[in-house]
Chain A
Amino acid sequence: MSTKPLSREIRFEKLVSVLIALTTIFAATAALLERVASNEAEKANRLAEELSISATTERVSGNVIFSYDWQGAFQTWRELDLLITNAETFGDTAAAERYRALRDRVTGLSPLLQSPYFDNSVNFPDDTRYEADLYYVEAIRLTEQFKYQAALGNSWEETASQFVLQLTFYAVALSLFGLSTTIHTFIRWLFVGLASLIVLFNIAWSAVLFFVPFPELPPAAITAYSQGVGLAYQGRYHEAIELYNRALSAQPAYAEALDERGSAYFAIGNYAHAAADYEAALAAGKYDTHVLWNLGWTYYLLGRYDDAIRINQQALALDPTLIGVRSNQAIALLAQGRTTNAIAEYDLALAEAVRQVAEARARGEEPPASLWYYLDAAAVDLYSLLDELHGTQKYWTQAPPANTIGGDPGQLESTALGQIKRLKEYTVSLEFNGAAPADTRNPTAGAFSFVQEILDANGNFVEYQESTVNAYGINQIGILFDYTGFPVGAQEVWKVYTNGYEDPALRVVGNWALEESGSGIKFITYAFSSVFVFASGEYTVDLYIDSHLVQSGTFYVEYP
C-alpha cells in the first residue's frame, strides 16, 4: 500500500527532472542565439560609428579643399579677370595683357579652373559638379551606409533583447518545474503544464524570430541613390531621376530615394509625381517635417488645398515653430477662399517669428538666417498667387492653377496685399529692432519714378529722364519721389528685389537726413566701379521708414 504512491511520487520527480534538463538545453540554445544577435548588433553598430565618422571627415575635408579651390584659386582668377576688365576699360592694354597672362597661369592651381569644370564661354566654374565629384557623392554614400548599418544594429539589438526575454521565461519555467516537486496534490500538474506551455511558447517564438525580416539596402541601391543626389545637386534632375529609379528598383521601399525623387520631380515641375513620391516616402517610414513640408507645398501648387492643409497640420503637429509651414498653411487657406482663417494663420506665423527673435536676443544670440528667408518667401508666394490670378506669371512664379483659386478675387487680392505689407514690415522691424513694428504715425511717399541722369557734353547735369524700362548696360538708376511725415533721424531701409528675391548687396540702411516732407532722389548704383552693370531682370525697390513700408516700385533691365 505504501510503496505505490511513493513510486508514483518518484516517477513524477524523475519526469520533472527530465523536463528540467530538456528546458536547460532550450535555454542554452536561446543563450547562444542571444549572443549571436548581440554580437551582430555590436558589429553593425561599430560599422555604423565608423561610417558616420568617415562621412563627417569626407564632408569636412571636402569642404576644406573646396574652400581653397573656390576662395583661394578661383577668387584669385576672378580678381585678375576683373582687373583685366578694368584695365581694358581704361585702355591700358599692357596691364590687361599682363593680368591675362597671370590669370591663365593661375588655372594650373586647381582642377576647378580646368576642364571639365571650368566653362570658358561664361568664365565661370561648374562648382556643384566639382563638389559632387570631390566629396559630395561619397559623403552621401557613407551617410546612407551608416544609416543602414545603424538600422541593422537596432534590428539585431531588438532580436537579442527578445532572446533575453525568452531566457527570463525559461527561468520562470524552471522555477515552476522545481516548485511542482514540492506539491503533492493534482495542482503540481498545473505547474508542470504551465511550465511546459511556456517552454513550447518560447520554442515557437524562436522559430518566428528566424522569419522576421531585417532591413535590407543593397549596395547598388545606395550607390545609385548617392549618385542621384550628386546629379540633383548639380541641377541635373532628369538624370537624377533615372538613378533614383535604379535605386528604387533595387529597394522599392527606399524612403530616402523616394523623397529625393519627389524633390527632383518637383524641381522639373512634375508636381503630381512629386506628391506621389513624397506620400510613398512617408509610407516607407520617412515621416518627418521635411517631407511633410514639401508634400504640403506640392499639394498647394496642385490646387489640392484640403490635402495641403491636412499635411501642413501634420508637419505643425511635429514642430509648431516652423514659420515656413505656417505661412504655407496660411496661403493654402487664402487660395481656398478662407480669408479669415488665412489671416489668423499669418498672425500665428508672425507671432512665432517675434517669439523666436525675442528668445534669441534674450540669450544674446541671433535667430536663424532662414527666418528672414521664410518671411521673405511668404511675401513672394503671395505675389506669385496674385500674378497667377492676374495671368502675369514670371519665370520664378510658384502658384496653383488660377482655376483652382477660390473665394472672391477682390477680397483675396486686398488680403494678399495687406499680408505682404505686414510680412515685409515685420521682417524689417524684427531684423533691425528685434521687435514687431511699433504703431507710430504712418509716413507716406508718392509713387516712385525711376530715372536716368541726362548730362551735357561736359558731364554736367541737365535733367532726369523717366526710365522704368532700361536697356542692358546701365550701372545706375535714380528713384524720384515725394514724401511727407518722414521724421528726421528715422530709420531708413532700402531693399532691392531682383527677380523676386532680395539682393542684400544692394540694401541701404541709414537714418533719414532730409526734411520731414518734400521731394527726394535715391540712387541705386554700381557707378563707383568701372566693372559692373545691372544684370537683366525685374528690380523691385522697397522703402521702409521706421519699419513702415512707405513705397514700392519696379524697374526693368532688358536682356542684351
Chain B
Amino acid sequence: MNTEFRKNRFEIFSAFMIAVVTILSALTAWRANVADGIAGNADFEGVTSSILSQEARIVNGIHAYEHYRAYTSYYRYNELGNIMYNEGDNALLQDQSGLWGVALGLQYSFFPPRYVNRDGSYDVQRELDELWADQAQQTDLNPTPHFQRADGYRDKSIAITAVLIVFATAFFLFTAGQAIRNRLKYLFALGGILVTLAGAAIVILIEFAFL
C-alpha cells in the first residue's frame, strides 16, 4: 500500500511537471512569435525608410540638375556677354547688354543663385547635400537602425525557439521517468526538473536582454 502510494505520488508529480513543461513550451512559442512579429514590423519600417531615402535621392537629383541646366544657359549668355564686354567694341554694346539681361532673367527665375560659387561655377553637390539634410529633418531616411532592430528580434526568436528543444527534452525525461520502475526514475525526474529550470532561466535571460 505504501509502495503503491509512493508510486502514485511519483506519477502525479511527473504528470504535473509534464503539464508545467507544456505550459512553459506554449509560453515560449508565444514569445518567439511576438519577437518574430516585431522583427517583421521593423523590417517593414526599414524598407519604407529605404524607399523614402532613395526617392529623396532621385527627386533631389532631378531638381538640382534642372537648376544646373538653367545655370548652363545662364553661363552661356553671361560669359558671351563678358567676352563681348572685354572686346570693348561699342558696336557690340547692345548685343552684350542683351545677353547679360537674359542671363539675369534666367538667374532670377530658374535656379537658386545661392549655389553659384565666387569663381562663377555652380555647386551642385552643395545643393544636393542641403536638400538631403532638409528632408532628413522631416522624414526618416535611415533604414539601418530598423534593420538592426529586426535582426536582433530575429535572433531572439531563434534563441527562444531553440529553448523549445530544451523543454521537449524535459518532457522526455519526465515521461521516461514514469516508464521506469527502478530508482533511476528519480534521476530522470531530477534531470527533468533541472532542464525545465534551465529552459525557463534561458527564456527569462533572453527576455531581459531585449528589454
Contacts and interface: CB of A to CB of B under 8 A. Distances in A.
A72 B68 contact: yes
Contact of A21 (B36, B58, B75, B172): B172
A98 B40 CA distance: 64
A65 B76 contact: no
Nearest to B33: A35
A354 interface: no
Contacts of B139: none
A57 B53 CA distance: 10
Contact of A64 (B47, B62, B143, B175): B62
Interface residues of A toward B: which range?
35 or more
Contacts of A35: 32, 36, 157-158, 161
Nearest to A55: B54
Nearest to B54: A57
Secondary structure at the B interface, as helix, strand, loop or mixed, is helix
A39 B154 contact: yes
Contacts of A31: 161, 164
Nearest to A68: B65
Contacts of A8: none
Interface string B153-175: 01001100110110111011011
A18 interface: yes
Interface in B55-95: 57-58, 61-62, 65, 68-69, 72-73, 75-76, 79-80, 83-84, 87
A133 to B, nearest CB: 17
A129 interface: no
B171 A24 contact: yes
B154 A27 contact: no
A238 to B, nearest CB: 34
B165 A29 contact: yes
B141 to A, nearest CB: 12
A18 B75 contact: no
A18 B179 contact: yes
Contact of B158 (A36, A50, A57, A61): A36
A60 B61 CA distance: 9
Contact of B168 (A14, A25, A72): A25
Contact of B54 (A15, A20, A53): A53
B198 to A, nearest CB: 15
Secondary structure at the A interface, as helix, strand, loop or mixed, is helix
B135 interface: no
Contacts of B61: 60-61, 64-65
A20 B172 CA distance: 8
Contacts of A109: 72, 75
Contacts of B167: 28
B154 A43 contact: yes
A102 interface: yes
Contact of B72 (A29, A72, A101): A72
Contacts of B43: 42, 46
A42 B154 contact: yes
B83 A102 contact: yes
Contact of A50 (B47, B80, B121, B178): B47
A446 interface: no
A508 interface: no
Interface residues of B, number: 48
A165 interface: no
Nearest to B121: A108
A53 B50 contact: yes
With most chain A CB atoms within 10 A of its CB, the pick from B39, B157, B168, B174 is B168
Contacts of A21: 168, 171-172, 174-176
B51 interface: yes
Given A35-B32, A101-B83, A28 B57 contact: no
Contacts of B161: 31-32, 35
Contacts of A98: 80, 83-84, 87
A36 B157 CA distance: 9
Given A39-B154, A56-B54, A67-B65, A32 B164 contact: yes
Contacts of A106: 72, 75-76, 79
Contact of A17 (B84, B164, B178): B178
A24 B87 CA distance: 95
A27 B83 contact: no
Interface string A346-360: 000000000000000
B147 interface: yes
A102 B74 CA distance: 12
B160 to A, nearest CB: 9
B46 A46 contact: yes
Given A39-B158, A76-B76, A46 B176 contact: no
A25 B47 contact: no
A4 interface: no
A82 B178 CA distance: 99
With most chain A CB atoms within 10 A of its CB, the pick from B47, B143, B172, B174 is B172
Given A42-B43, A76-B76, A28 B176 contact: no
Given A46-B46, A67-B65, A76-B72, A57 B169 contact: no
B111 to A, nearest CB: 12
Interface in B142-201: 143, 147, 150-151, 154, 157-158, 161-162, 164-165, 167-169, 171-172, 174-176, 178-179
B176 to A, nearest CB: 5
Contacts of A65: 61, 65
Given A50-B50, A57-B54, A39 B79 contact: no
B142 to A, nearest CB: 13
A56 B147 CA distance: 20
Closest 8 CB pairs between A and B?
A14-B179, A21-B172, A21-B175, A28-B168, A57-B54, A72-B69, A28-B164, A25-B168
Given A32-B158, A42-B154, 11 more contacts: A14-B179, A21-B172, A31-B161, A46-B147, A49-B47, A53-B54, A68-B68, A71-B69, A101-B83, A105-B79, A106-B75
19 contacts: A18-B176, A20-B175, A21-B171, A28-B165, A39-B39, A42-B154, A46-B43, A49-B50, A50-B47, A56-B54, A60-B61, A61-B58, A64-B62, A67-B65, A68-B72, A72-B65, A98-B84, A102-B80, A108-B121
